[in-house]
Amino acid sequence: MSDFLNPRKIINELPLEEEMNVADFGCGSGGWVIPLAKKIKCGKIYAIDVLKEALSALKSSAEMEKVYNIRTLHRDVERGTDLQNEYFELVIMSNLLFQVEDKRSVITEGHRVLKKRGRLLVVDMVTGDSAEELIEKEIKENGFLKIKKFNAGKNHFANFYEKI
């Protein structure tokens, strides 16, 4: 097992289509966004973060990489977004849930914006013995079914869910 999280490796294992719409909740400076945008050439990647500095860094990286299908949004996903209902085929929550106080509201927001049978990728830090189990319980209670577990290194877990 690799010690480090490798977004590109996990992205290569996802069932992606060129015309998908993806939301990355808590995108940071774009570790997932840039590689996704390169694979999803005709769709849109909505990069959402509460930190303006991270979004600014992402915009610069996207320009340098000549990736133009990214839309950055300054939002606090814990308080909800103004994203359209049932619009996205994929929502990513990477290194987000361990940081937020109200995990349920973030997961509920992900459920709201996903199309029926849309997918949710949750990648998070291993912060304690039951961290993954508690997050998974919350996700299942919000209408998701786990369909795959990825190798995400020794400090992270990565689970793939489908909205039911």
pLDDT of residue 1: 45
pLDDT of residue 127: 81
Model pTM score: 0.94
Amino acid at 147: I
Return the sign of the alpha-carbon dihedral for residues 77, 81, 86, 91: negative
Count of CA atoms in the C-beta half-sphere (13 A) of 102: 9
Contact 143, 109 (CB under 8 A): no
Residue 4's pLDDT band (boundaries 50, 70, 90)?
confident
Count of CA atoms in the C-beta half-sphere (13 A) of 63: 7
Q: What distance in Å separates the CA atoms of residue 44 and residue 136, rounded to the nearest whole number?
A: 27
pLDDT digits (tens, 9 = 90+) for 132-160: 888 999 999 999 999 999 989 888 999 99
- H-assigned helices in 66-158: 103-113, 131-141
pLDDT digits (tens, 9 = 90+) for 93-128: 999 999 999 999 999 999 999 999 999 999 998 887
pLDDT of residue 164: 94
| CA–CA distances in Å: residue 137 to residues 2, 45, 88, 93, 140 | 26, 27, 23, 16, 5
Position 44 pLDDT exceeds 60: yes
| CA–CA distances in Å: residue 32 to residues 21, 52, 108, 123 | 14, 17, 21, 11
Position 3 pLDDT exceeds 90: no
Contact 145, 161 (CB under 8 A): yes
pLDDT: is 64 or 3 the higher one? 64
pLDDT of residue 5: 86
Mean pLDDT value of segment 44-57: 98
pLDDT digits (tens, 9 = 90+) for 58-72: 999 999 999 999 999
Position 2 pLDDT exceeds 80: no
Q: What distance in Å separates the CA atoms of residue 79 and residue 81, rounded to the nearest whole number?
A: 7
We find that the CATH architecture of domain 7-157 is: 3-Layer(aba) Sandwich (3.40)
**Chain centroid to CA 115:** 15
Q: Cα torsion at 75, 16, 150, 108 (round to 10°)?
A: 40
